[in-house]
Amino acid sequence: MIINILLVIDFVMLAVVISGYIFASMRERKLLSQEADQSLELQQKVYQAQVLKEISERIGYSLDTNKIVDIITSSLGNLLEYDTVAYMVIEDGGKALFKCHVENSVTHDFIEQVKEKMIMSYAAILDKRIEAQSTDESITGNILDDNLKVQVESFFNLPVVISGKLVGIINVASSEKGRFGEEQASILYTITNQAATAVSKLQSVLESEKGKLSAIIYSLADGVIMVDTDNQLLVSNPVVREILEINQQAAGQQAIEKPLTMFDIVDGLAGKVDIRTKIEQAMAEDKVITIPEVLLKDKAVELAVSPVKDNSGAIIGASVLFHDITSEKSLEKLRQEFTAMMVHELRAPLTALRWTSEAMLKSLNDPAQRLEPLKVKENAENIHTASANMLELVNDLLDVAKIEAGKFELNIQENDLADLINEQSKIFKPQAEQKHLALNVTANGKFMLKFDKVRIAQVLNNLISNAIKYTDSGQVDVSLKTDDPSKTAVVSIKDTGLGVAREDLNQLFSKFKQLRSVDRARKGTGLGLVVSKGIIETHGGKIWAESEGENLGSTFYFSLPL
């Protein structure tokens, strides 16, 4: 795309060609009258200045070698007298480009001679045989007339060197002997030199812009590639390799930095997206094509294929943006699971309420289905339990919503924490006894502290009931201590139950994650812990859990500032 262009004019060749003329032309000039000579020189200089101005204006911001050479050669007419001016480029693959402008009619043979001289010069500079495999020719200007008796009698070649590499040769030829001298060569030299200076300045500006651009592309969090209209990869950044897992070396192995090709991209997306077709479509229809969700091995990616245009609005390729949406997707999945769970949990008690009350209504309306008084009592109890479960859940949900909205309010007063712990533990004695668990409480004396009694009771209830729920044998120990360094009161609830896998400990208090591991046999949505965390943190305290691992029991702690 952006070619490094530097025009360096190598005068070695030129010197060989023109050295013979130098002395002759100097001697001739002396014979001319001084006046005439001066006026001619002045005229030439004016022309030269005009041509230079014209060239720099026309070159503008172009970095296209062919265009620049075209501009230079087409400007020569005012300064030099010649029959043909030609430009030849031989690409690495051997493909030759030959452009010739015919100022005065010459023969085909004349053109062939020019071409031959240029190839010879090319070969001499590169010091190797040149065999142009195919030639892309364009001859413009006057018509060719093979009836003319013209030969190349004088010429000179001017090599064009870009970044130390020969990219082409300019040739000026005439059928007149001794047409070109030092002066003419120097005019052409000045012009090309001027063009080279303009190009170098432009190039350095572009280089720095390009540097900024590559730095941006390189550091993008999204993968980016750009292809030209022939589907050749022009630009790519490291994220593309990461996303498509191309050349990802195993740890400890040397990185294989094979340049990325379009084949790698197509392979990386094989079976998921026909990226080539999408690129062609984007270019053909001149619109951005998005592919919202491409599922790769362990990633989800969103692709955006956009046509790329140049200044004039012509489409010169397409870019593809790879946006990794894996984490968004997994969060989305968690949200869906959470919603499904909530829907289920809210509908279950409603179903029980509906069906039980239906049965009771039926028994009232239909004597054949009359219920025994014991059955009526059982149904009423069921309705009570279902509505209590529902209420608990709705309250938890409302609390979570308040906590998340930062609108959780506390009624803080001076209370006795030891007393509260003893009081709440007492409530759970029957449950513990029913499961043959020992419920030991160590909270003696008065322990005055500022907290919301109702809310801390809620936390204690939640933690103690969980401990009993998840313990099938052994004991539950509730204790209260002061931690002097942190100036806090620490309450711990230790059980000998199921325990928690180490990697799950941090996720216990998260709204979404907790729900994944819900043990349905023991009921509960896990929202209790989320609410407890909110309550404790609003008090300025901390809540955490420790466990040696699964089936090794767990201890839940919370601290309140003294």
Partner 1 sequence: MAKILVAEDDKLISGSLCEALKNAGYESHAALDGEEAVAKAKEVAPDLMLLDIMMPKLDGISVLWELKANPATAKIPVIVLTNIGDVDTISKIVEAGAVDYLLKSDQSVDDILRKVKEVLERTVRLV
The 437-476 site mask, x for binding partner 1 (CB under 8 A), equals ----------------------------------------
From residue 370, alpha-carbon distances to 359, 373, 376 in Å are: 10, 9, 10
Contacts (Cβ under 8 Å, ≥6 apart) of 340: none
Closer CB to partner 1, 207 or 550, in the complex: 550
- CA dist 125 and 133 (Å) reads 19
Q: How far is the CB of 394 from partner 1 (least distance, A)?
A: 15
Select from 359, 376, 412, 490 the one that contacts partner 1 (CB under 8 A).
359
Other CB atoms within 10 A of residue 521 CB = 6
The 124-163 site mask, x for binding partner 1 (CB under 8 A), equals ----------------------------------------
Select from 28, 41, 519, 548 the one that contacts partner 1 (CB under 8 A).
519
Q: At what angle do helices 182-219 and 34-59 cross, to 10 degrees?
A: 20
- CA dist 272 and 290 (Å) reads 14
Residue whose pair of structure tokens reads 């039926």 in the numeric block: 362
Closer CB to partner 1, 231 or 357, in the complex: 357
Contacts 24+ apart (CB under 8 A), 285-291: 286/315
Closer CB to partner 1, 137 or 378, in the complex: 378
Question: Which of these, 367, 360, 506, 495, lies nearest to 440 by C-alpha position?
Answer: 495
Closer CB to partner 1, 67 or 333, in the complex: 333
Q: How far is the CB of 341 from partner 1 (least distance, A)?
A: 8
Tokens of 25: 């032309």
H-type helices in 137-258, by residue range? 182-219, 238-244
Quick check: 517 binds partner 1 (CB under 8 A)?
no
Q: How far is the CB of 473 from partner 1 (least distance, A)?
A: 19
Phi, psi dihedrals of residue 119, rounded to the nearest 5°: -65, -40
The side-by-side arrangement of strands in the sheet containing 554-561 is 438-442, 475-483, 488-495, 554-561, 542-547
Quick check: 293 binds partner 1 (CB under 8 A)?
no
Q: How far is the CB of 326 from partner 1 (least distance, A)?
A: 19
Q: Which of residues 294-353 bind partner 1 (CB under 8 A)?
A: 336, 340, 343-344, 347-352
Q: How far is the CB of 362 from partner 1 (least distance, A)?
A: 9
Q: How far is the CB of 521 from partner 1 (least distance, A)?
A: 4
From residue 559, alpha-carbon distances to 179, 460, 485, 545 in Å are: 101, 12, 13, 12
- CA dist 265 and 271 (Å) reads 12
Q: How far is the CB of 344 from partner 1 (least distance, A)?
A: 5
Select from 385, 465, 510, 538 the one that contacts partner 1 (CB under 8 A).
385
The 364-383 site mask, x for binding partner 1 (CB under 8 A), equals -----x------------x-
Strand bridging mode 134-141 / 95-102: parallel
- CA dist 203 and 62 (Å) reads 10
Quick check: 386 binds partner 1 (CB under 8 A)?
yes
Applying CB under 8 A, the site for partner 1 has a residue count of: 22
Closer CB to partner 1, 45 or 354, in the complex: 354
Residue whose pair of structure tokens reads 């609005």 in the numeric block: 313
Given the rule CB under 8 A, which residues bind partner 1?
336, 340, 343-344, 347-352, 354-356, 358-359, 369, 382, 385-386, 519-521
